[in-house]
């Protein structure tokens, strides 16, 4: 990905994130989150993580944020009424963030930088040898394409089978939990 695209998507993500905490209206905040996640999805794509990028848009921007909006409208939230701003928590919060960012910069300035290894057709073709010949993955790799979805699927069902099952159970539990929680208690 060209560097300027990286900066554009980064700026979109960070500005969207900043807008989330700046806007008073929850709906605006939610839409800012959508913008932020779109930028993030762009960054994912730039990192050749196509599947994750798509998931980010489908699940987060599509499902989760719609759920947020749905709840905001369900609760019929107005703009936050102005409250007397208290300085101490604000300063403390900002101090915390500044401390964190300075630590981050410090760590990054110390750690050695790294350039992304090339993912050009030659490299991909060379990687094809690690997969059964004639299968989809090997074919795509030989053709110089990155079969992202197939590779993730391969790993998911070979190396992460049990966690996947457990994840299914977690989702089920969450579903049941949500149903129980949102049932109106009868008096």
Separation between Cα atoms, residue 172 and residue 177, nearest integer Å: 8
* 23 phi/psi in degrees, rounded to 5: -65, 145
Select the residue interacting with another protein from 8, 67, 73, 133 (CB under 8 A).
67
62 binds another protein (CB under 8 A): no
We find the least distance from the C-beta atom of residue 186 to another protein, in angstroms, to be 13
Contacts with 30 (C-beta within 8 Å, 6 or more apart), sequence order = 65, 68, 69, 72
Considering the complex, what minimum distance in angstroms separates the CB of residue 133 from another protein? 15
Options 87, 134, 162, 182; binder of another protein; rule CB under 8 A: 182
- Nearest approach, Cβ of 134 to another protein (angstroms)? 18
- Under rule CB under 8 A, which residues in 13-52 are in contact with another protein? 13-14, 17-18, 20-21, 26, 29-30, 33, 36-37, 40, 43-44, 46-49, 51-52
How many other CB atoms are found less than 10 A from the CB of residue 101?
10
Contacts of 119 (CB under 8 A, 6+ apart): 48, 146
Nearest alpha carbon to residue 31 among 73, 81, 68, 76: 68
Site string for another protein, 119-138 (x = CB under 8 A): x---xx-xx--x--------
């Amino acid at each position: 990905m060209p560097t300027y695209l990286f900066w554009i998507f980064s700026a979109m993500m960070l500005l969207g994130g900043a807008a989330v905490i700046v806007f008073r209206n929850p709906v605006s905040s939610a839409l800012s989150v959508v913008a932020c996640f779109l930028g993030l999805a762009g960054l994912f794509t730039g990192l050749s993580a196509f599947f994750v990028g798509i998931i980010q848009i489908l699940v987060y921007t599509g499902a989760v944020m719609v759920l947020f909006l749905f709840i905001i409208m369900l609760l019929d939230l107005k703009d936050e009424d102005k409250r007397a701003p208290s300085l101490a928590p604000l300063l403390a919060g900002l101090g915390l963030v500044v401390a964190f960012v300075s630590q981050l910069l410090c760590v990054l300035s110390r750690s050695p930088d790294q350039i992304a290894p090339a993912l050009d057709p030659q490299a991909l073709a060379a990687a094809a040898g690690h997969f059964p010949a004639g299968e989809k993955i090997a074919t795509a790799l030989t053709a110089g394409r990155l079969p992202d979805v197939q590779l993730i699927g391969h790993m998911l069902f070979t190396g992460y089978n049990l966690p996947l099952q457990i994840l299914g159970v977690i989702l089920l539990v969450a579903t049941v939990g949500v149903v129980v929680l949102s049932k109106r208690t009868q008096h």
